[in-house]
Structure 1
């Protein structure tokens, strides 16, 4: 194995992989995209056929971008829904990974299930 291949193999092990300890809610990116298109939130909501209250909640980080909503965003902004899927998944993973271990437990039928 040549040196370059060996280096790539070594650096791609979990112990050597850099994982940022931050993530932004996709709503922040959405607001930037809306503004870049010169739209108000209300105009975008009408264009995407999503209630303005839902858009406001997404921008504020109180609501996730679902697959159905991502498809509507594609129609309105021309941004592939996969971007929203990745941003949402990263945000959710960050929330689970970096919150306190006790908060990772969720009640399920009176029992607890670990999500980490």
Structure 2
């Protein structure tokens, strides 16, 4: 398993630049935020989502996610499907040089991205 930083490094808003090694659609709104109140939220590429998470021994466990249900262009909808499927498999993370990396239980990189500045 990759080195996991303390829980505080997970808290923040992160833009998604890659989903499982594939770049995202240009100017994609895909991002996620882990809050210190144990909620996770963001934009899965087209629709907003929210849910909860737990941390135990450096492992992230996501609860069920609620999403809005609007339609977007096919490329964003496909990306959103990949985003939500990958997010459900999130297991651990690391931050390095201002980037956040989320990994699955097999240490496969799910997401990579920088701090999110948008609203």
Provide TM-score, normalisation by structure 1. 0.26
Which protein is richer in helix relative to its size?
Answer: 1
Q: Which has the higher strand share?
A: 2
Which structure would you say has the larger Rg?
Answer: 1
The structure with higher relative contact order (CA 8 Å, sep 6+) is: 2
